[in-house]
């Protein structure tokens, strides 16, 4: 049975993390993702990110580019531009994650390409979008986390503002771009006309403020940096130090709070008016957390997790990444997959979160320009002689 997006073709002008993460979701679902890499700068900079980089491949690049095809094409070269336009004529979407002023300069907006393909969807994912006072500014996950308020609520009260350990703005924006691109293609196929889709890391980060954004905009609420990864208003919903490490405990409902009291053999806490409901526990956070911290410090993590699991209380040991990948659930679900790479050798990586029913077998990321000739022949209809002429002219980089 064909994969869900087997009839979708995306031309991707992408680099580093956010954009390639988004198009990799499409490739996992069967879309043909043709990754155009600028040969004048050595292609996607992700190819050279240490520590596991070799020649023009890296494990960083592999994490964002499986199941894609790469062509080396200089869009500023007139012959490269002509080849690009022939690809566009047979594509569903052109996707980019460049600075907000670049789609206009590179002429990759809908108004630039509609005459070639009126059903084309042109998706731009940039730091701040293609309009507004920041449109021409560059941005990375770290700077967006700072600007969008994320750092102000991450870390402890005595610590400086802190970035999340993962590039969550990038990855979230990649998912947003994948959803928007598919919606745009659906609309174009229904209505016969494509469009521009203008997305940004900043607006993705703002959207992910969710209730904090709503509370602040509606009631002037002020968030705090709280100790031990605590939730802003739900208690207990945080990490606790056990006798030999840390565990996370989450009681977001009254039934879970009562189950925790049972597990701790502290029934008096369940009827204490200071802790009677979510509002009371939040108002008396310090007193409650002190009691719980003392109790959790008496046993090792594994004992607590087993005990809380028996009582139905959501909890987990605080793992490092190696510990996370070794969890039995990972093995049971086949969440680690592997393949051989011609430069990097054996590669093991995390499987698609979209599930194996809808997704392709994991394939390696493409070598720089690996598919240039075959894509131009198969997709754009170039003859071998025409491709040779493009190569001699420098459309694929310096001859």
Sign of CA dihedral 195, 197, 198, 203: positive
CA–CA dist 171, 60 (Å, integer): 14
Please give the structure tokens belonging to residue 74. 């200089």
Pairing verdict, β 315-317 and 336-341: unpaired
Strand partners of residue 199:
125
Pairing verdict, β 121-126 and 93-96: parallel
Strand partners of residue 123:
95, 197
CA–CA dist 41, 345 (Å, integer): 25
For residue 167, report the phi and psi dihedrals to the nearest 5 degrees.
-85, 70
**Sequence-distant (≥ 6) Cβ neighbours of residue 196 within 8 angstroms:** 109, 110, 111, 122, 123, 124
CA–CA dist 316, 44 (Å, integer): 38
3-state secondary structure of 268: helix
Catalytic residue among 77, 231, 341, 371: 231
Q: Is 231 a catalytic residue?
A: yes
Strand partners of residue 34:
11, 69
Q: Looking at the annotation, which residues are catalytic?
A: 231
């Amino acid at each position: 049975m064909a994969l869900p997006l087997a009839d979708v073709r995306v031309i991707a002008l992408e680099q580093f993390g956010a954009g390639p993460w988004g198009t990799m979701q499409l490739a996992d679902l069967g879309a043909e993702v043709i990754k155009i890499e600028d040969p004048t700068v050595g292609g996607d900079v992700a190819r050279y990110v240490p520590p596991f980089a070799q020649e023009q491949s890296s494990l960083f690049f592999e994490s964002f580019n499986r199941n894609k095809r790469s062509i080396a094409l200089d869009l500023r070269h007139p012959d490269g531009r002509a080849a690009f336009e022939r690809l566009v004529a047979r594509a569903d979407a052109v996707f980019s994650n460049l600075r907000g002023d670049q789609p206009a300069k590179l002429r990759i907006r809908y108004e630039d390409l509609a005459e070639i393909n009126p059903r084309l969807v042109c998706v731009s994912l940039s730091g701040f979008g293609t309009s507004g006072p920041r449109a021409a500014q560059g941005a990375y996950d770290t700077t967006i986390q700072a600007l969008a308020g994320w750092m102000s609520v991450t870390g402890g009260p005595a610590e400086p503002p802190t970035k999340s350990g993962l590039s969550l703005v990038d990855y979230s924006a990649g998912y947003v771009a994948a959803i928007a691109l598919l919606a745009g293609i659906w609309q174009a196929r229904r209505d016969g006309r494509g469009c521009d889709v203008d997305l940004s890391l900043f607006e993705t980060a703002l959207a992910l403020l969710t209730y904090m954004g709503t509370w602040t905009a509606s009631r002037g609420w002020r968030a705090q940096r709280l100790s031990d990864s605590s939730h802003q208003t739900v208690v207990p919903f945080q990490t606790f130090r056990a006798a030999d490490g840390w565990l996370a405990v989450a009681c977001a409902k009254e039934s879970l709070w009562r189950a925790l009291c049972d597990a701790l053999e502290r029934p008096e806490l369940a009827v204490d008016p200071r802790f009677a409901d979510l509002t009371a526990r939040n108002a008396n956070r310090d007193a409650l957390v002190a009691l719980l911290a003392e109790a959790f410090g008496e046993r090792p993590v594994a004992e607590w997790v087993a005990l809380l699991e028996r009582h139905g209380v959501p909890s987990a040991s605080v793992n490092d990444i190696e510990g996370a990948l070794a969890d039995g659930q990972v093995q049971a679900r086949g969440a680690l997959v592997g393949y051989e790479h011609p430069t990097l050798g054996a590669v093991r990586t995390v499987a698609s979160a979209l599930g194996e029913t809808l997704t392709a077998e994991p394939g390696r990321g493409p070598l720089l320009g690996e598919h240039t000739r075959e894509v131009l022949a198969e997709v754009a209809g170039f003859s071998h002689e025409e491709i040779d002429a493009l190569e001699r002219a420098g459309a694929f980089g310096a001859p």
